Structure 1
Amino acid sequence: MVQTEERDDPPGGGAVQMRGTNQSGMRAYNEKLILTLIRRSGALAKSDLTRLTGLSAQTISVIMRRLEADGLVIRGEPQRGRIGQPSIPLSLNPEGAYSLGLKIGRRSMELVLMNFLGEVIHRSARTHRYPKPDQAIQFAHDAIGALISRLDSDALSRIAGLGIAMPFYLWNWTRALGVPDEAMADWRDADIRSEIASMYAFPVYLENDASSACAAEIAFGVANTPDDYLYFYVGYFIGGGVVLNRALYTGPGGNSGALGPMPVVGRDGKVCQLIEVASLSELEKQLAVQGLETSSLWEGTENWQVNAGILDDWIASAAAGLAHAIASACSLIDFSAIVVDGWLPVDVRLRLVDAISDELEKLDMTGLEKPEIRSGVVGADARALGAASLPLFARFLLNQKLTNRDAA
């Protein structure tokens, strides 16, 4: 399906009214509209879709028959009400479409295979000292081969594409990574999207890693998230995203929400960048100084082996820096909520959210509305899931971004 009209209606949130059109030539948009509403709200009957979209009952029936024939939706059990014929809820078919997501991080790479519901079916991962383009391409090729070998021919035909989430301008971060400039120089001329796209028939998309994480929160987060919020993803370096009217705003260069360079006041009272106090690179550095192992930080978030005192100190420093960043951001845009997620164990993320709220209470917020500080719900998989969601939104669902990047 090809979208014939650009709209700024993003996924995320509950069942809100989104208007369709009964005019001819709008099949693609109306199909995406209906699939997006079902994805947001769960199973919906035709009567619900008629009410939510403003489309005629006949138009809804035609579209639903087509989507069912294409294997994108499935019928549920009839729901009997007090009067009239029983309604039949329709939901997304988990096997209706699949997508691949590649996360290229500063300490690890991961590739996931996701179904139409956003559930991870298979995954492959590896850690590294720092990423190299040729190694990333080889990893992607090997992992894609291993993952899709598990699919039958019908599932293979339903792969919508591959999304790539990675930091932009990787060659600028050699000093922070502690590697020589020449180690990352190849990224200046690397076109990893085109390189990988040349190997496969499906389209390949590219997005900033933190923006991808934010897109995953929009797509797979809870229904009661506010329309506008600032999103922080705590990874090796902290990043984030700006959500306006439930859509990810990436800006003309695709780098809006690059929150790491924001000036903040550290616990010592000196001005520094947020990236220096609220990134996992700082936690890794503190562990290394004490001669403690750091590899468990990047192998997963379930088995961290982190000294309790060092972790407490890092949470306190990160929370103080984040509170200052939030106060600054809210003076520019009146965000009603701040969402904090990251490559963190759930208990650490919740502790960080509580600490940020405490630190905000210490700041002078005169003239500003204090936002609600929320924990993200996607977690450590956010970047990979955000990458994998890119092909699904391009082909089947309404766009979750205010600016777009073209696919190969």
Structure 2
Amino acid sequence: MKTEVNENSHVSMNHQSKGGRSQSGLRIHNERRILSIIRKEGAISKAKISNQTGLSAQAVTVIINGLEADNLLIRKEIKKGSVGQPSVPFSLNPDGAFGIGLKIGRRNFDLTLIDFVGNVRATLHQVFDYPTVQGLLSFLEDGIKQITLNLPSEFASRVKGIGIATPYEIWGWAEEAGAPTEALNEWKEFDLANGVSKISYLPSYLCNDDTAACSAELSFGNPHGFTHFTYAFIGTFIGGGVVINNSLLTGNAGAIGSLPVPVIKPNGELATQQLIMKSSLFVLENMLNDAGYDSHQIHSSDSYWQEYLDIVDDWIEQVAEGLTYVALNSAAVFEAQAIVIDGIFPEDVRDKIVERTNNKIEASDLRGLSSLMCVNGVIGSKAQSVGSANLPLLATYFQELDL
């Protein structure tokens, strides 16, 4: 994940000398390993942590005691075994740390506060026709105060930063987004991380919006325990992420919206078209507008989707075609176990997309490919927002991503 940290940020991560990792760096590394294991397991004893890490029981005890003293861990109910001393499981303290996430979309802004285990404590949402720099700054200035209003004053120091999730080159595809080119071009000259830091005293972390959504699924979802998967988030445009060996790939990996997919022209000629033009919400908006409906309604209420069911079904069909192409390529290239689907739509629409994609996968020629499936993401439409709020927590406490 390409992440930028503003100059006021401090992330205690790479305490290394040329000769190797220092004692301070080694301690931080082991703390991160242990916190990552506890988050994955939910609750786990010191003995099991020692077995998983290879650290001595004494070393684990010292680290656990320190993390508990820092309010990052809490003791759970003692589990009594048949042999030996009862084991005390430790879990993350939800109140131990917090992250703020700012999601900048082509149709909306989201500001989200999450706790240490990913629970959403507060959120704000603003819808518009297209994003403007001034609109963002106004939204952010009032929004940070509102979402932290109910946070106890003693927890203020536990807010570890603000993650910013935004589409790559948000000024691109102006015509498809229905936005004036001059308005979107303002984003080219705007230093986003610096602009946010002038409003917030917090460190800021910047990444692609769909990469952030994938990080949320990896950190707080993935109930199947997939180690290799492609993630797709369907918003105004479609994007995604790639996870291999439980790690989210960095850079521009997962830019599935730009993937050329085969299409048949009306004259029967075979051509290619970017997935963004086939499996994105703006395509559905255009279909609704062409049919004489107000496409803005789908962003206001889930119930409106039922009114346009025939059009929505046609859209789902072509979305599933595009996702099947992504899934098969993922299985062929890096042996993906699944394609995980989430987006800004009602759950029943997501379920239909998953079902039809699975049907198309099963009907495909799978010779030479490992089995794979399409499954729904568990974070939902706020995945980009939760993922952005997760960035400060990842940077400060965990080892999945080297931010």
In the superposition, the TM-score normalised over structure 1's length comes to: 0.89
Q: Is the 2:233–2:240 Cα contact (8 Å) retained in structure 1? A: yes
Q: Is the 2:15–2:25 Cα contact (8 Å) retained in structure 1? A: no
SS at match of 2:129: coil
In 2, the alpha carbon distance for the partners of 1:100 and 1:25 equals: 26
Q: Is the 1:210–1:233 Cα contact (8 Å) retained in structure 2? A: yes
In 2, the alpha carbon distance for the partners of 1:347 and 1:305 equals: 10
- Report the counterpart of residue 393 of structure 1 in structure 2: 394
1:2 to 8, 12, 25: 12
State the Cα distance separating 1:300 from its structure 2 match: 5.7
Specify the code of the residue in structure 2 equivalent to 1:256: A
Q: Is the 1:73–1:92 Cα contact (8 Å) retained in structure 2? A: yes
Percent identity between matched residues is 38
* Residue correspondence of structure 1 range 8-407 to structure 2 within 5 A: 26-251=26-251, 255-266=252-263, 270-299=271-300, 301=302, 304-400=305-401, 404=403
Q: Is the 1:211–1:240 Cα contact (8 Å) retained in structure 2? A: yes
In 1, the alpha carbon distance for the partners of 2:110 and 2:25 equals: 40
State the Cα distance separating 1:33 from its structure 2 match: 1.2
In the superposition, the TM-score normalised over structure 2's length comes to: 0.90
CA offsets, 1:138-177, max 9 Å, x none?
A: 2112110111122222111110110011101111121111
Q: Is the 1:79–1:89 Cα contact (8 Å) retained in structure 2? A: yes
Change (3 A) 1:366 1:49: closer
SS at match of 1:184: helix
State the Cα distance separating 1:79 from its structure 2 match: 1.6
SS at match of 1:295: helix
State the Cα distance separating 1:370 from its structure 2 match: 4.4
In 1, the alpha carbon distance for the partners of 2:186 and 2:288 equals: 30
In 2, the alpha carbon distance for the partners of 1:24 and 1:102 equals: 32
In 2, the alpha carbon distance for the partners of 1:263 and 1:172 equals: 17
In 2, the alpha carbon distance for the partners of 1:257 and 1:325 equals: 10
In 1, the alpha carbon distance for the partners of 2:301 and 2:398 equals: 31
Change (3 A) 1:270 1:22: closer
Higher mean C-alpha displacement, 329-338 vs 144-153: 329-338
Specify the code of the residue in structure 2 equivalent to 1:196: V
CA offsets, 1:111-137, max 9 Å, x none?
A: 011011100001111101001122112
SS at match of 1:278: coil
Q: Is the 1:108–1:298 Cα contact (8 Å) retained in structure 2? A: no
Name structure 2 gaps, 5 residues minimum. Answer: 1-10
Change (3 A) 1:172 1:157: same
CA offsets, 1:30-88, max 9 Å, x none?
A: 11111111111111111111111111111111111111111111111222112322211
In 2, the alpha carbon distance for the partners of 1:209 and 1:116 equals: 20
In 2, the alpha carbon distance for the partners of 1:356 and 1:270 equals: 22
Change (3 A) 1:301 1:105: farther
Change (3 A) 1:76 1:324: closer
Change (3 A) 1:222 1:313: same
State the Cα distance separating 1:250 from its structure 2 match: 2.1
Change (3 A) 1:267 1:191: same
Specify the code of the residue in structure 2 equivalent to 1:143: G
In 2, the alpha carbon distance for the partners of 1:317 and 1:236 equals: 15
RMSD: 2.1
- Report the counterpart of residue 4 of structure 2 in structure 1: none
CA offsets, 1:230-274, max 9 Å, x none?
A: 1111111001111111111122xxx22111121113476653221
Name structure 1 gaps, 5 residues minimum. Answer: 7-20
